[in-house]
């Protein structure tokens, strides 16, 4: 199985679908973090899943 990683350069083009704000990349958790929305969006197979239904609320 090939390990597909997220390209952090994609952050320049991605925004939070709820707040339209910037995102931070958490490489260890493989998530994109929206601090303003208090949400973490998963990255699966190198592809960010930017659906509110798929995001988890941050503690």
CATH number at residue 26: 2.20.25
Task: Say if 57 falls within a structural domain.
Answer: no
pTM: 0.88
Per the prediction, the chain carries an average pLDDT of: 91
User: Does 17 map to a domain?
Assistant: yes
d(CA 3, CA 35): 27
Q: Is 34 a domain residue?
A: yes
Residue 3 has pLDDT above 80, yes or no: no
Q: What is Dmax (Cα atoms) for the chain?
A: 36
* CA angle (22, 5, 12) in 5-degree steps: 25
More confident residue, 57 or 9: 57
Count the domains in the chain. 1
- 52 lies in some domain: no
Question: Has residue 59 been placed in a domain?
Answer: no
| pLDDT tens per residue, range 10-30 | 888 999 999 999 999 999 999
50 domain residue, yes or no: no
């Amino acid at each position: 199985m090939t390990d597909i990683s997220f390209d952090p350069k994609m952050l320049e083009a991605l925004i939070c679908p709820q707040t339209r704000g910037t995102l931070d990349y958490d490489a260890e958790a493989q998530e994109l973090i929206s601090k303003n929305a208090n949400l973490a969006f998963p990255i699966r197979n190198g592809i960010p899943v930017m659906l509110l239904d798929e995001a988890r609320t941050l503690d």
